[in-house]
Amino acid sequence: MPELPEVETVRRGLQPVMEGAKILVAEARRPDLRFPFQPDFVARLKGQVVTGLGRRAKYLMADLASGDVLLMHLGMSGSFRVIKPDNEAAPGEFHYPRAKDSTHDHVLFRMSSGADIIFNDPRRFGYMKVIARSALDEEPLLRGLGPEPLGNEFDAAMLARSCAGKTTSLKAALLDQRVVAGLGNIYVCEALHRSHLSPRRIAATLSTKKGETTDHAKRLVGAIHTVLNDAIKAGGSSLRDHRQTSGELGYFQHSFKVYDREGEKCSTPRCGGTVKRFTQNGRSTFWCPKCQK
């Protein structure tokens, strides 16, 4: 599911029930997700007030009054849903009508705001980890993450600079979280199409030999901003797993120009090309060879 717009959608759904609320009960229903849970995972959450819920790239970060931070990553198939606790359940017990795939409900929180928060992740590529806020800078999961694509410091000059000398494709460079943090396969394909740049273009061509930022880089950054902002407004893209915390689907998938649209006519005005698909670094790339150069 989750690239930046989906994670941001989830953050906005969780914020009202988490911020300012205490974690009354925390439960991990299996020993691991992608990684084993820390032995003190539950203990460090229980009784803590969540003072803020933020996002860094594709990570959700819940600040706790203890000085810890709960890092949460949705992997490929993770989702959160927020429901009202069953009043008949014992206080420490999660007793709600079971959803179809509740076998994959792995982590549960009961909040003092009157919400139960359930993390479901069939493929278990997601993970959670509690770290001290003071150790955030040394956290291996976060170290090396590039700039936020919607942040102030991310602009054409910066992108061109970090792609300078890169012999790899533009597609691979944009998927590299060290270059820019938060894009995934869908939004890279969509941003490249909207900026009329080929996914096969060499990344280094975003700047000239003299180090000047090209118009290509400017177009690309503009397209990244537009596509991410539009996707957030739409509640993200729901292909199979992504849900808003209310259970509603996102609807940006209806605005895809190329992703999952192989064989369709290119939507660029007067282009007349056809959307093609090929494999790049082991992943599907969708693009229009006619208008993306």
Among 48, 169, 195, 207, binds DNA (CB under 7 A): 169
Q: Is residue 255 at the binding interface for DNA, with CB under 7 A as the rule? A: no
115 versus 145: smaller Cβ distance to DNA: 145
3 versus 85: smaller Cβ distance to DNA: 3
Q: Is residue 261 at the binding interface for DNA, with CB under 7 A as the rule? A: no
Q: Is residue 11 at the binding interface for DNA, with CB under 7 A as the rule? A: no
Please identify which residue in the block is written with the tokens 């790049």.
Answer: 280
Question: Could you give the CA distance from residue 265 to residue 268 in angstroms, rounded to a whole number?
Answer: 9
Please identify which residue in the block is written with the tokens 């999961």.
Answer: 141
Please choose, out of 38-46, 88-96, 146-154, 238-246, the segment that lies near DNA by the rule CB under 7 A: 238-246
Residues from 53 through 72 that contact DNA (CB under 7 A): 57-58
**3-class secondary structure per residue, the chain:** CCCHHHHHHHHHHHHHHHCCCEEEEEEECCCECCCECCCCHHHHHCCCEEEEEEEECCEEEEEECCCEEEEEECCCCCEEEEECCCCCCCCCCCCCCCCCCHHHEEEEEEECCCCEEEEECCCCCCEEEEEEHHHHHHCCCCCCCCCCCCCCCCCHHHHHHHHCCCCCEHHHHHHCCCCCCCCCHHHHHHHHHHCCCCCCCEHHHHECCCCCECHHHHHHHHHHHHHHHHHHHCCCCCCCCCCCCCCCCCCHHHHCCCCCCCCCECCCCCCCCECEEEEECCEEEEECCCCCC
Among 26, 186, 228, 234, binds DNA (CB under 7 A): 186
Please choose, out of 15-23, 61-69, 180-188, 211-219, the segment that lies near DNA by the rule CB under 7 A: 180-188
Please identify which residue in the block is written with the tokens 């359940």.
Answer: 89
Q: Is residue 29 at the binding interface for DNA, with CB under 7 A as the rule? A: no
Q: Is residue 284 at the binding interface for DNA, with CB under 7 A as the rule? A: yes
Please identify which residue in the block is written with the tokens 């537009």.
Answer: 226
Q: Is residue 105 at the binding interface for DNA, with CB under 7 A as the rule? A: no
Q: Is residue 172 at the binding interface for DNA, with CB under 7 A as the rule? A: yes
Please choose, out of 13-21, 42-50, 111-119, 184-192, the segment that lies near DNA by the rule CB under 7 A: 184-192
Among 12, 56, 123, 196, binds DNA (CB under 7 A): 123
The residues annotated with a catalytic role in the active site are: 2-3, 58, 283
User: Judged by CB under 7 A, how many residues of this single chain contact DNA?
Assistant: 42
Binding mask 73-102 for DNA (x = CB under 7 A): x-xxx-----------------------x-
Please identify which residue in the block is written with the tokens 């003190």.
Answer: 40
Q: Is residue 237 at the binding interface for DNA, with CB under 7 A as the rule? A: yes
Q: Is residue 185 at the binding interface for DNA, with CB under 7 A as the rule? A: yes
Q: How many CA atoms lie within 13 A of 8 on its CB side?
A: 20
Least separation in angstroms between CB 213 and DNA:
18
Least separation in angstroms between CB 193 and DNA:
15
1 versus 221: smaller Cβ distance to DNA: 1
Confirm if 202 and 166 have CB atoms less than 8 A apart: yes
11 versus 110: smaller Cβ distance to DNA: 11
Which residues lie near DNA (CB under 7 A)?
Answer: 1-3, 6, 34, 57-58, 73, 75-77, 101, 103-104, 122-125, 141, 166-169, 172, 175-177, 184-186, 203, 236-242, 281-284
